[in-house]
């Protein structure tokens, strides 16, 4: 790539990465970001890029947001870490905010989405175990993504992620996405939980149907099965409500959050209804880093800013705005998703070429397979920035 030759720093870092970093990410995009502000990343090639991926739904307030910078400075000057042997002010205040925003009763903090889902799986098993019931089986959807730990990669219904790690943990089974009949067929007496994304992100931004979401929630309530909604990507306002469960108007027993919660710092959370949460007794679960004073204070600033700046209804409005400006573009057959979690389906197998052309034009998007572009912009993105994307993609596609 010609660009890399002109940039000695990028060249050096690529060589170091190839020599020392385990090759799990394959060949990365040849870009090295050195700073960022708002929706824009500055690369070592001297160019600016409009960031429509936000670190995969992480940078919900964009980059270098003053509220985050201020929280980081304030938290860093007080206390980074003290362990969960002691009470932690920002942890308790964040717990209250998260529970209220998502209409759940209790929370546990960890460091990532996978850990949050891992905790959810443990809570489901503990819940039934303590009721003296043998209901350890967890159902999840095909084409789902739930993380990389052994349990969550097993729950991830895609062989490409887990087949080489056998023996996988027991007690998992899979249902066809959006197919209530298949779910009914898989309901054996040992099923204790259903783990579901309401919009499958990694596999191409596929939302479940409204009827399916309601039917699953009703079925879970009837059968005493715990409904776990994986909101790691859909949570924190992304879909135009604090959680996608709220967007769909359904109630979960357990939800998991991560990506956007720390605005760029690693934090995950598992939330549950009181009766379910009560299954964890002292010693049943824990974390060294989870919920530490520093990260919680920053996450608190993220949630406060989202509320003060009205970013959740704005995410909904901006998503609809972008959907309507893309609706008339020839070569785009569908724009799926809710709020600022959108998949753009193309007429031809040119997702990678179009992604690269957009990058060349200074706009970063993701692609899934050969026909889908994926965007997860910061919730703070402006109408003008979205308009600039809509114009560029139209001109690229028509060429
Ligand atoms: C990203 C993601 C995860 C995994 O989160 P990590 O922080 O990478 O462990 C789990 N579930 C969903 C839906 C995700 O999008």
Is 310 a residue whose pLDDT tops 50?
A: yes
Position 399 scores a pLDDT of 85
Euclidean distance between CA atoms 358 and 390, whole angstroms: 11
* Share above pLDDT 90 across residues of the chain, in percent, rounded to a whole number: 97
Indicate the top mutation candidate among 110, 145, 270, 376 to test ligand 1's pocket, ranked by most ligand atoms within 8 A of CB.
145
pLDDT in tens, 53-72: 999 999 999 999 999 999 99
- Residue whose Cα lies nearest atom 6 of ligand 1: it is 113
Bridge partners of 256, per DSSP, are: 230, 270
pLDDT in tens, 185-234: 999 999 999 999 999 999 999 999 999 999 999 999 999 999 999 999 99
Is 1 a residue whose pLDDT tops 90?
A: no
DSSP H or E segment with residue 212: helix 210-223
Confidence at 4, pLDDT banded by 50, 70, 90: very low
On the CB side of 294, how many CA atoms lie within 13 Å of its CA? 16
**Average pLDDT in the 322-338 region?**
96
DSSP H or E segment with residue 115: helix 113-130
Is 2 a residue whose pLDDT tops 90?
A: no
Position 5 scores a pLDDT of 60
113 Cβ closer than 6 Å to some ligand 1 atom: yes
Residue with tokens 């690269």: 356
The set of residues, in sequence order, having a beta carbon less than 8 Å from that of 238 and lying 6+ positions away, is 57, 60, 244, 260, 315, 339, 340, 341, 376, 379
Q: Of 262, 284, 280, give the one whose Cα is nearest residue 271.
A: 280
114 Cβ closer than 6 Å to some ligand 1 atom: yes
For the chain, how big is the Rg over CA atoms in Å? 21
Position 307 scores a pLDDT of 98
**Would you call 374 helix, strand, or coil by DSSP?**
strand
Q: What is the mean pLDDT of the chain?
A: 97
Q: For ligand 1, what atom is nearest to the CA of residue 112? A: 7
Give the Å distance between the CA of 147 and the centre of ligand 1: 5
């Amino acid at each position: 790539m010609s660009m890399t030759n002109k940039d000695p720093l990028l060249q050096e870092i690529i060589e170091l990465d190839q020599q020392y970093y385990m090759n799990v990410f394959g060949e990365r995009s040849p870009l090295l970001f050195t700073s960022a502000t708002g929706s824009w990343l500055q690369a070592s090639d001297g160019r600016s890029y409009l960031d429509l991926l936000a670190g995969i739904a992480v940078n919900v307030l964009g980059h270098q947001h003053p509220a985050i910078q201020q929280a980081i400075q304030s938290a860093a000057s007080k206390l980074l870490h003290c362990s969960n042997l002691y009470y932690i002010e920002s942890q308790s205040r964040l717990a209250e905010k998260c529970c209220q925003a998502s209409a759940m009763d209790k929370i546990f903090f960890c460091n990532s989405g996978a850990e949050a889902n891992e905790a959810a799986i443990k809570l489901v098993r503990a819940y039934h175990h303590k009721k003296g019931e043998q209901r350890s089986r967890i159902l999840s959807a095909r084409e789902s993504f739930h993380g990389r730990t052994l349990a969550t990669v097993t729950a991830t219904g895609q062989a490409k992620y887990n087949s080489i790690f056998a023996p996988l943990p027991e007690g998992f089974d899979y249902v066809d996405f959006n197919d209530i009949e298949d779910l009914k067929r898989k309901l054996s007496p040992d099923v204790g939980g259903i783990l579901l994304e309401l919009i499958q992100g990694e596999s191409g931004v596929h939302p479940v149907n409204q009827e399916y979401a309601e039917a699953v929630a009703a079925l879970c309530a009837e059968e005493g099965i715990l409904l776990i909604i994986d909101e790691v990507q859909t949570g924190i306002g992304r879909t135009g409500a604090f959680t996608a469960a709220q967007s769909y108007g359904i109630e979960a027993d357990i939800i998991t959050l991560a990506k956007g919660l720390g605005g760029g710092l690693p934090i995950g959370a598992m939330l549950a209804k009181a009766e379910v949460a009560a299954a964890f007794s002292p010693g049943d679960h824990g974390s060294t880093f989870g919920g530490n004073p520093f990260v919680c204070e920053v996450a608190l600033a993220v949630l406060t800013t989202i509320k003060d700046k009205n970013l959740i209804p704005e995410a909904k409005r901006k998503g609809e705005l972008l959907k309507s400006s893309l609706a008339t573009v020839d070569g785009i057959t569908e724009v799926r998703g809710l709020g600022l979690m959108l998949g753009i389906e193309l007429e031809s197998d040119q997702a990678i070429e179009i992604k690269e052309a957009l990058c060349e034009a200074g706009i970063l998007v993701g692609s899934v397979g050969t026909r889908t572009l994926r965007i997860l912009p910061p919730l703070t993105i402006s109408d003008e920035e979205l308009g600039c994307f809509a114009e560029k993609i139209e001109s690229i596609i028509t060429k």
